[in-house]
Amino acid sequence: MNEQSPLKGRITVIGIGEDGYDGLSPMARSILENARIIFGGTRHIAMLPGTNTATQNKWITPFEANLPMIEDCLEQNPVVLASGDPMYFGVGNTLIKYFGTEPIYAIPAPSSISLAASRLGWALADCDVITLHGRAPEGIRSHLRPHGKLIALSADGSTPALVAVMLCEAGFDQSRMTVCERLGGSEERITTQTAQTWQSTATSMPDVKPVDPLNLIMIDLQAGPKARPLLKGPGLPDDAFIHDGMITKSEIRAQTLSSLAPFDGGVLWDIGAGCGSVSIEWMRMGGVAVAIERDAERCAMIGKNAIRLGVPGIAVEEKSIEEALLFADRLPVPDAIFIGGGITHDGLLEKCWDVLPVHGRLVANTVTLEGEEKLLRFYNKMGGTLSRLSVSRLVPRGNFKGWSNLAPVTHYVGVKA
């Protein structure tokens, strides 16, 4: 979009449910009756009455190609048809990212998520809600916890069986899965079975009526005896990760993440990421992470760990510190930076500090005297806090047990004022 040109016109986004045109409010119907141009999916366009005289444009693929077309007719005040609530995992969010908030006016219908919660009597505030539409299905793994309630928007009719397989693999095979199809319409269907039953039915009874592509999954999570629930952290066990020894140990990682102060949508740069343990835990707590690691094998480990632990969207940059600094302006602006490796690189601490916005956090760990010297100089110049973290773990000593001390870690935390 040309950001130099002021936008003239309004885009009205109308949510429509399975009850179709008759389920719309009088205001929504009036807008559609007077519209000159309408955009929407084939299914939504088909819901319009035959008397509608507007120019009707069905979505083309990829979806981003539709946005310039909408922009070209902005002065005609185009109308966009969307499923349910356009602002809840819907097209309204995509339009706002492209056009900004000013020209968008949304008229929501009940979302399929709200309808499903009402059918089962679930309190939405107690549920994790995710979408698997256009996303890697492994994202569900970061939400597996005992007694949790999870609502997942499906990509298509095959999604429930795929989710059932992942639940069974994780030891949550007795979780109750309720698949809700075409909610709010005449073809509404709601089916509840355990994940184990869903999985076995999909493989042993292929002639069973297929699941409609328009479905979502309500999951009442139950951890079985073989489950290994990994909560959002911080401080997942070291053996939850594939690593070659280059890992921030669990106890140190818990303190490190606490110092980084993760929050939903926060951006982390993890420099010298190793196996990605810090950035992966940051993402499990709702953030976005860029893992910067020069070693190709460790970058592969990061990708595998991210899938195993339910954050397949991690960004991995196979770069040296020199390359990372050179291309820093191409990365998303960080809210926090963690330096776990390469701390003795000249100018690294200063460059990271300069990149951070106000309230941004710089956290660094080192186990060497040379790294400690760098941190002390930076601390004397910029302030912050320095601490020494020491951990001892119980290990076998012949027929007895004793304490083994991990290398003490010098830990720096700075918050940009």
Conformation bin of residue 360: beta by default, left when phi > 0, alpha when psi is -120 to 50: beta
Is the residue at 227 inside a domain?
no
Sheet holding 409-415, edge to edge: 315-317, 288-292, 267-271, 336-339, 361-366, 409-415, 385-389
Is residue 43 within a helix (H) or strand (E), and if so which, with residue range?
helix 42-45
Domain C-terminal end among 191, 220, 249: 220
Residue 86 lies in a domain: yes
Q: Please, what's the b/e burial string for 140-173 (b: 16 or more CB within 10 A of its CB; e: otherwise)? A: bbbbbbeebbbbbbbbeeebbbbbbbbbbebbbb
Reduced to 3 states (helix: H, G, I; strand: E, B; else coil), residue 97 is helix
Q: What is the DSSP letter of 370?
A: H
Do 301 and 202 lie in a common domain?
Answer: no
The number of beta carbons lying within 10 Å of the beta carbon of residue 210 is: 11
Beta bridge partners of 13: 80, 106
Residue ranges for the chain with pLDDT beneath 50: 2, 4
Helix axes 348-355, 369-382, angle to 10 degrees: 40
* pLDDT (0 to 100) of residue 325: 86
Q: What is the CATH number of the domain that holds 262?
A: 3.40.50.150
Residue 225 falls inside a structural domain:
no
Domain containing residue 55: CATH number: 3.40.1010.10
Of 39, 26, 29, residue with least CA distance to 76: 39
Of 171, 190, 220, the last residue of a domain is: 220
What beta strand segments (E) does 8-66 contain? 11-16, 37-40, 55-58
**216, 116 Cβ separation under 8 angstroms:** yes
**Range of the structural domain that residue 125 is part of:** 114-220
* Burial 371-398, CB ≥16 within 10 A → b, else e: bbebbeebbeeeebebeebebeeeeeee
Judge whether 14 and 24 are in contact, CB under 8 Å: yes
Task: Sort strands 392-397 and 400-405 into parallel, antiparallel or unpaired.
Answer: antiparallel
Residue 3 lies in a domain: no
335 and 353 fall within a common domain: yes
Residue 378 lies in a domain: yes
Same domain, 141 and 54: no
Phi-psi region of 147 (alpha: psi -120 to 50; beta: other; left: phi over 0): left
Identify the sign of the CA torsion 224, 225, 227, 231.
Answer: positive
Tell me which residue has tokens 């979780």. 175
pTM score of the predicted model? 0.89
Q: Judge whether 358 lies within some domain.
A: yes
Task: Look at residue 5 in the predicted model and tell me its pLDDT.
Answer: 52
Q: Is residue 232 part of a domain?
A: no
| 248 and 383 housed in the same domain | yes
Omega before 332 within 30 of 0, i.e. cis: no
254 and 119 in a single domain? The answer is no
Single residue among 55, 76, 110 that ends a domain in this structure:
110
- Specify whether 170 is located in the same domain as 314: no
Residues 346 and 294 in one domain: yes
Indicate if 289 and 392 belong to the same structural domain.
yes
DSSP string, 152-186: EE-SSTTHHHHHHHHHHHTT-TT-EEEEEESTTST
**Which of 52, 5, 4, 7 has the alpha carbon at shortest distance from 32?**
52
212-246 exposure pattern, b = at least 16 Cβ within 10 A, e = fewer = bebbbbbbbbbbbeebeebeebbbbebebbbbeeb
Q: Do 397 and 373 share a domain, yes or no?
A: yes
Amino acid at 80: V
Q: What is the pLDDT of residue 6?
A: 58
Same domain, 63 and 104: yes
**147 shares its domain with 249:** no
119 and 84 inside one domain: no
Distance CA 399, CA 7 (A): 77
Token pair of 226, please?
Answer: 């073989």
Q: For residues 316 and 292, give the distance between their C-alpha atoms in angstroms, rounded to a whole number.
A: 6
- State how many domains the chain has: 3
**So what's the pLDDT on residue 201?**
80
Residue that has been written with the tokens 């955009």 in this structure: 39
